[in-house]
Amino acid sequence: MSEEKSHRGVHILPLRIYLGVGAALLVLTAITVTISFIHLGPFNLVVALSIATVKAILVALFFMHLLYDNKFYLLIFTFALLILGIFIILTLFDTMRRGDIYLEVAKPIQEQSEIYSDSTRFSSPEPEH
């Protein structure tokens, strides 16, 4: 079926786009589930999130019409994701880097001490990786 315009001039997407995107989403789901059983270490997360992002982009651009509508909606949606990203990243700057100062300052001292031979007493709260 070709593209149609309603008599209001609204852009109606052809059926094949909806069905095509739907099929793509199902295929991508199958792929992501299959890959999850292959052990890639930390890359499992990267791959899974990448595939999820592709799916999300398909839903947003086609089902939610962001590709066809006023680009302002796309802009604000992206902006919101940016703000969310800032929240997560700056918080991780805190949570993942606690204990830095202990590593720098306290650890050399405690390594030399006799009393605190149990070095976990003053080590950083998080296990070192």
Partner 1 sequence: MNAIPQTNYLTETRGLKSWLLTRDHKRIAILYLIGIAAAFLIGGIFALLIRLELFKPGGQFMSSDTYNQVFTLHGAVMIFLFIIPAAPAILGNFLLPLMIGARDVAFPRLNLASWYIYVTGALFAIYSMHSGGADTGWTFYTPYSTQTQTSVISLTLGAFILGFSSIFTGLNFIVTVHKLRAPGMTWFQMPLFVWAIYATAVIQVLATPVLGITLLLLILERVFAIGIFDPKMGGDPVLFQHFFWFYSHPAVYIMILPGMGIISELIPVFAHRKIFGYRFIAFSSLAIAFISFLVWGHHMFVSGTSELAAAIFSVLTFLVAIPSGIKIFNWLATLYKGSLTFEPPMLYALSFLLLFAIGGLTGLFLGTLAVDVHLHDTYFVVAHFHYVMVGGAVMAFLGGLHFWWPKMFGRMYNMFWATLAAIIVFIGFNLTFFPQFILGSKGMPRRYFTYPPQFTFLNELSSYGGFLLLTGFGIIFTYLIASLFHKKDRPGDNPWGALGLEWFTSSPPPTQNFAEIPKITHGPYDFDIMKPERTYTFTR
Partner 2 sequence: MSQLSVTENHLQHHFADLEQQRESAKLGMWIFLITEVLLFGGLFCFYAIYRAWNPDIFHNAHKALDVRLGTLNTIVLISSSVTMALAIRWIQMGNKKRSRLYLIFTFLLALTFLVVKYFEYSHKFHLGQLPGKFYTYSGIPGTNPHLFFSVYFTLTGLHGIHVTAGMLVIGWLILRTSKGDFSENYYTPVEMTGLYWHLVDLIWIYLFPLLYLVG
User: How many positions of this chain bind partner 2 (CB under 8 A)?
Assistant: 47
Q: Which of 16, 31, 45, 100 binds partner 2 (CB under 8 A)?
A: 45
Q: Which helix (H) or strand (E) holds 67?
A: none
Interacting positions 64-123 with partner 2 (CB under 8 A): 64, 69-70, 72-73, 76-77, 80-81, 83-84, 87-88, 91-92, 95-96
Dist. CA 129–CA 103, nearest whole Å:
13
String of contacts with partner 2 for each residue 8-37, x by CB under 8 A: x-x-xx-x--xx-xx--xx--x--xx--x-
Q: Which does 75 bind (CB under 5 to 8 A by kind): partner 1, partner 2, none?
A: none
- Residues near partner 1 (CB under 8 A): 80, 83, 86-87, 90-91, 93-101
**Residue the block writes with tokens 């700057």:** 93
Label each residue of 72-113 as H, E or C: HHHHHHHHHHHHHHHHHHHHHHHHCCCCHHHHHHHHHHHHHC
Exposure string of 1-38, with b = 16+ CB inside 10 Å and e = fewer, is eeeeeeeeeeeebeeeeeeebeeebeeeeeebeeeeee
Which residues form the interface with partner 2 (CB under 8 A)?
Answer: 4, 6-8, 10, 12-13, 15, 18-19, 21-22, 25-26, 29, 32-33, 36, 44-45, 48-49, 51-52, 55-56, 59-60, 63-64, 69-70, 72-73, 76-77, 80-81, 83-84, 87-88, 91-92, 95-96, 126
